[in-house]
Amino acid sequence: MATAIDHLDWDDLKLFLIVVRCKSVTGAARELKVSHSTVSRRLARLEYTVGGALVERTKDGLLLTAAGLVTMRRAEEIENGVNALRSDVSNRDEIRGTVRLATMEGIATLYLSERLVELSSRYPDLDLELVTSQQTVRVARREADLFLSFFKPHGTSLDSQLIGRFKTGLFASQAYLKRNGVPSDAADLSNHRFVG
């Protein structure tokens, strides 16, 4: 006997991935150039098919439920499989698809943005979404595929590695140092004022 899951539509899964990546039905509708009600209807159809709610609506956008997280992971596996098949059939080693890179605004604007031009030129079929947020981005919940940060993220099933180092320093005007003195050690810094 056929069940709802037997009628799963790959197009609904693709739409679901766009909803997840946009974190809103409205954003997905805008990207797909369809109405808000069309996206809502197809999302509801997918939820019926898999037998449960896939997203929760919050003031910060949509959050994945446990069923949504499982569905998203399987949908991404299918998407990656389709992209691999496309590459195999075309006999070209193409890098394509969407990658969400989350990082801090300073890293994005001062370091990454100019370097992404070359990446985009080399891989025109790669869609890189640069996500900057003041809040912690949860890679484990697939809010991003990659997270570039100054600190090591915590969580299970995360693969993290050190990709570089940088130096920081303290700077002051001569007038400030004349007025307040030069700090002699780290403990002495508590007697000084900072602008960040």
| pLDDT number for residue 136 | 63
Fold (CATH) for 1-93: Arc Repressor Mutant, subunit A (1.10.10)
Report yes or no: 42 and 28 within 8 Å, Cβ to Cβ. no
Does the model's pTM come out above 0.75? no
Q: Could you give the C-alpha distances from 98 to 10, 23, 126, 166, in angstroms and in order?
A: 17, 15, 6, 29
Q: Residues of the chain with pLDDT > 90: what percent?
A: 25
Task: State both tokens at 8.
Answer: 């799963």
Spell out the CATH class of 95-167.
alpha beta
55-105: per-residue pLDDT in tens?
Answer: 998 887 888 999 999 999 899 888 888 877 777 676 555 677 788 888 888
Whether residue 5 is predicted with pLDDT greater than 60 in this model: the reply is yes
- Between 6-10, 29-33, 157-161, 183-187, the lowest mean confidence (pLDDT) is in 157-161
Question: With b meaning 16 or more CB within 10 Å and e meaning fewer, what string describes 53-90?
Answer: ebbeeeeeebbbeeebbebbeebbeebeeebeeeeeee
Q: What is the mean pLDDT of residues 10-29?
A: 90
Write down the pLDDT at residue 186. 87
List the chain domain ranges: 1-93, 95-167
- Please report the pLDDT score of residue 16 as a whole number: 93
